[in-house]
Amino acid sequence: MVYKSFTLVAIAVIAINSVAAKKPLWHELDGYTFAKYVVDFKKGYALDSSEFALRKTIFDAKFAKVTAHNSAPSSWKRGINHMSDRTVEELGRIKGLNKKLLFSQQTEAPLNVHVSSKAKDPSVVDWRQLAGALTAVKDQGECGSCWTFASTETLESQWFLKTGKRECLSEQFILDCTPNPQQCGGTGGCAGGTAELAYARLKVLGGLPSEYTYPYISGMGGNQSCKGTFPLQPARAHSGAESAAANVTGYVNVPSNDADAVMDAVANIGPLAISVDAGDWHDYESGIFSGGNHTNPELDHLVQLVGYGETTEGQYWIVRNSWTTEWGDQGFIMLNRSTACGEDINPLDGNGCANGPPTVKVCGQNGMLFDAIYPLVE
């Protein structure tokens, strides 16, 4: 066992500094206004435009929700961030888990299942504390590509822990080159997918290029075409061609809804890709999150589990998101380590997948124990 302790262009009306102000924390919001918000977050709404009026209405409602929550006792705080003026539809686009495909996969036996290390797990694991184990927090933009980000981030972590090499890998390659053959409520790319889909495809294609040779360009929501000659050849310096900076030989599923197995895997194997219901995450700022729909969670987002711990407020999981460092606690969220279960009653809404279950039992805060996975590398 390895031990780890580990911007408003205010058109001649409002003068603004050319450098954005520091993001306000929850306890600094007294008297905060939309005019200040558009300066702090470099929004580009003309003062006399209909969009300015719309965004102000949305922001004012979000601000009221944030202040009401923070005035009551709670283990976590809401805050203001770059998404505080977005519509429900816009917020929906920054997820991207194709849960229909995720649930259809549960009807088949996993190729590899995580086996417990039988070791006593440390009380605290935080992979952020091991230099190289995580790359910097990323930004998926307006594309529903969370599934490629969490898959890539977890491969980056496993590649470092296996080889000692820190690589920043390409989300765009997975996005471009991984079709969704079952057309389960989407077509892959910015329309969603799963980590299982990504890792199975990377095994066939010969690995994953680096971010530098195959950069992310779908931040505005557009799909691109797949580039490369397959299977990819190992990366070579100055080659100028798509090549594999890391490979994938398969993947391992952690037993579904098993908190002990998830803890063992993240402690002894490393960071994991997990599926969650992120419907109430958008204005999270700090603390141990316990919000959301506990009775009928709807898994719609893929993120990276990077550890766990506990404070006087309770036990928590440490989760990395792909919504920039302006979101949450520098891009991270602590989730309550609850093992309570709910039921996703709409796994097959939309077009659905053939032979998928009508309802699915999901456990843990925001359903995070349902589907945890890590890639195999060599």
Note if 282 is an active site residue.
no
Pick the catalytic residue: 180, 257, 301, 336? 301
**Measuring CA to CA, which residue among 112, 99, 15 is closest to residue 373?**
112
Cβ–Cβ under 8 Å, residues 113 and 207? no
Residue pair 266/307 in contact by the 8 Å Cβ criterion = yes
Catalytic residue among 247, 253, 321, 366: 321
Active site residue 146: yes
Whether 122 contacts 4, CB under 8 Å: yes
* Local structure of 315: helix, strand or coil: strand
The answer to whether 168 and 144 have CB atoms below 8 angstroms apart is: no
Instruction: Report which of 102, 111, 86, 80 is spatially closest to residue 301, judged by C-alpha positions.
Output: 102
Strands 372-376 and 360-363: unpaired
Q: How far apart are CA 277 and CA 299, in angstroms?
A: 4
Q: How many CB atoms lie within 10 A of CB 88?
A: 9
Based on the residue annotation, tell me whether 353 is a catalytic residue of this protein.
no
331's CB contacts (< 8 A; 6+ apart) are: 137, 320, 321, 323, 324, 325
- List the catalytic residue out of 81, 114, 143, 146: 146
- Phi, psi at 150, each rounded to 5°: -65, -40
Catalytic residues: 146, 301, 321
